[in-house]
Amino acid sequence: MGANSSLRDKFERGLAAPICLTWELTYACNLACTHCLSSSGRRDPKELNTDEAKALIDEIAAMQIFYINIGGGEPMIRRDFFEIIEHAVNQKVGVKFSTNGTRIDAEAAKKLAAIDYLDIQISIDGADAETCDKIRGEGSYAAARLAMDHLRDANFGEFKISVVMTRDSIEQLDEFEAIAKHYGAQLRLTRLRPSGRGVDVWDELHPTQEQNRRLYKWLMERPNVLTGDSFFHLSALGDPLDGLNLCGAGRVVCLIDPIGEVYACPFVIHDEFKAGNVRDAGFNAVWTESDLFTSLREPGNPGACGSCGSYDACRGGCMAAKFFTGLEMTDPDPECVFGHGETALAAKKVMLIPKPSPDHSKRVPVSINSK
C-alpha cells in the first residue's frame, strides 16, 4: 500500500469506519495456546446470540466495512458459525477468519470452498510439531496440517498460513515459506504481543534484537509475505515495510469481543482500552462517538521518542506492547530497534504490569484429544 505521510496523518485522525475490524466470535477454544492474546478457553455466557450477531453484521454492511476478520477463541466452535459467515458474505461483507484448523474436516473444507468472499487463516507457531506444539498444545501442528490438506483437496484456493514470530519460530522462516509453497498458500507473519496470556510468556519468547533485524531484512526481500502491518516498529531500520506503518488503534482498527465490548485493537482487551458495547447504541455510535476513540485520534505525544530521528518511521511503536510491559504511552516500544525500549524497561524500578481484564482461560490444562 505504501501510504504517503500526509495520508498517514489523516488516518491518525480516524476514518468514518474501520478498515480492519476484528470480531472475536467466541472465547471458547479447544486449545490453550500459551500466547493467546484474548486469554480464551471458556465460552462467555453473555456471548452475542445468532440474532445479535446478524444485526451486527447488518450494521457493519451499512457502514461499508468491506471485510471483517473473525477470530476467537476458535470461531468454528460456534454452532451458528456457518450461518454467521454466510450472512456476512451474502451482503458482500468479506470474511477472513482465523482458525486452529481442528474443525476443518473434509466435509467442512468442501463447505468453506463453496463460499465466496471468504479467506481462511490457519495458525501454526512452528514449522514442525515440536516447535508448534510447545506453544499451541500437543497435536496442534498435526491438526493444522490436516486442515490444510483438506482445504487443498477441496480446491479451496489460496488460504493463508498465519505464524506468530517467537524466538523459536523466527528461526524457521524459510521452512514456513516452503510449507506455504507446498500448499500454494500465502504466508502471514505477525508480531508476538504481550497481550492476554502472552503477558506471561513474552519475556522468554519475544524475538531478540538480532532476530528482529533478520526478520526485517527477510520481509523486505519478500513483499508478498503478509504481516497485517504488525512489524511497523521495525521500519525504523530503514525503508518502511509494506503497510500503513502506524498504530491504527481506534483510528483504522478496532476489536469487537464475543460479548459485544469494543476495544481499540485486538491486542488491548483491557478495561483501559474499552470504548463501549455494541449492545448499547450499536457499533457505529461507539466508533464515531466514544471518548476513548476520540482521544486516540488526537495528535499523539511522541514523548521520549520525539528526539529520535526515526520517530517518523516507527511512530513510537505499538501501544499494546508498551502497555502490557508496564511502559507509558510516551515511552519507546519495548522492542525498539535501537534498544531504547530495553533501557526504558530497565529503568522501571517497580514493574506494575497490567493483567488483561477478562480472562476466559480454562482452569485445567487441556489436550487436543480431550472431549
Partner 1 sequence: MSLSTSVIFDASAPWSLSSQVSLRDEAFGALAYHHGNRRLVFLKSRELVAILRSLENFNSVNEAIDAVVPNEHDRYVEAVGALVKSDIICGR
Q: Which is nearer to partner 1, 67 or 287 (CB)?
A: 67
Q: Which is nearer to partner 1, 13 or 181 (CB)?
A: 13
7 touches partner 1 by CB under 8 A:
yes
- Tell which residue, 198, 247, 202, has the closest CA to residue 356: 198
Residues 42-101 that bind partner 1 (CB under 8 A): 64, 66-67, 92, 94
Q: How far is the CB of 231 from partner 1 (least distance, A)?
A: 19
3 touches partner 1 by CB under 8 A:
yes
Output the nine-digit C-alpha cell for 25. 466470535
Output the nine-digit C-alpha cell for 4. 504517503
Q: How far is CA 319 from CA 198, 248, 331, in A?
A: 15, 10, 10
Q: Which is nearer to partner 1, 40 or 162 (CB)?
A: 162
Helix (H) or strand (E) holding 238: none
What are residue 163's phi and psi, to 5 degrees?
-130, 130
308 touches partner 1 by CB under 8 A:
no
Output the nine-digit C-alpha cell for 55. 444485526
Q: Which stretch binds partner 1 (CB under 8 A): 2-10, 38-46, 213-221, 287-295?
A: 2-10
Residues 18-37 that bind partner 1 (CB under 8 A): 19
Q: How far is the CB of 131 from partner 1 (least distance, A)?
A: 31
Q: How far is the CB of 248 from partner 1 (least distance, A)?
A: 13
Q: Which is nearer to partner 1, 161 or 215 (CB)?
A: 161
Task: Cite the beta strand spans of 143-260 per DSSP E.
Answer: 160-165, 186-191, 253-256
Q: Write down how long the chain is.
A: 371
Cα 341 from Cα 282, distance rounded (Å): 38
- Tell which residue, 296, 256, 317, 228, has the closest CA to residue 70: 256
Question: Is the backbone peptide bond immediately before 73 cis, with ω within 30 degrees of 0?
Answer: yes
117 touches partner 1 by CB under 8 A:
yes
Cα 314 from Cα 103, distance rounded (Å): 38
Q: How far is the CB of 102 from partner 1 (least distance, A)?
A: 26
- Tell which residue, 246, 281, 315, 261, has the closest CA to residue 20: 246
Q: Which stretch binds partner 1 (CB under 8 A): 1-9, 42-50, 278-286, 290-298?
A: 1-9
Q: Which is nearer to partner 1, 95 or 147 (CB)?
A: 95
Question: Is the backbone peptide bond immediately before 198 cis, with ω within 30 degrees of 0?
Answer: no
Q: How far is the CB of 66 from partner 1 (least distance, A)?
A: 4
* Count of positions on this chain that bind partner 1 (CB under 8 A): 16
Binding residues for partner 1, per CB under 8 A? Answer: 1, 3, 7, 10, 13, 15-17, 19, 64, 66-67, 92, 94, 117, 119
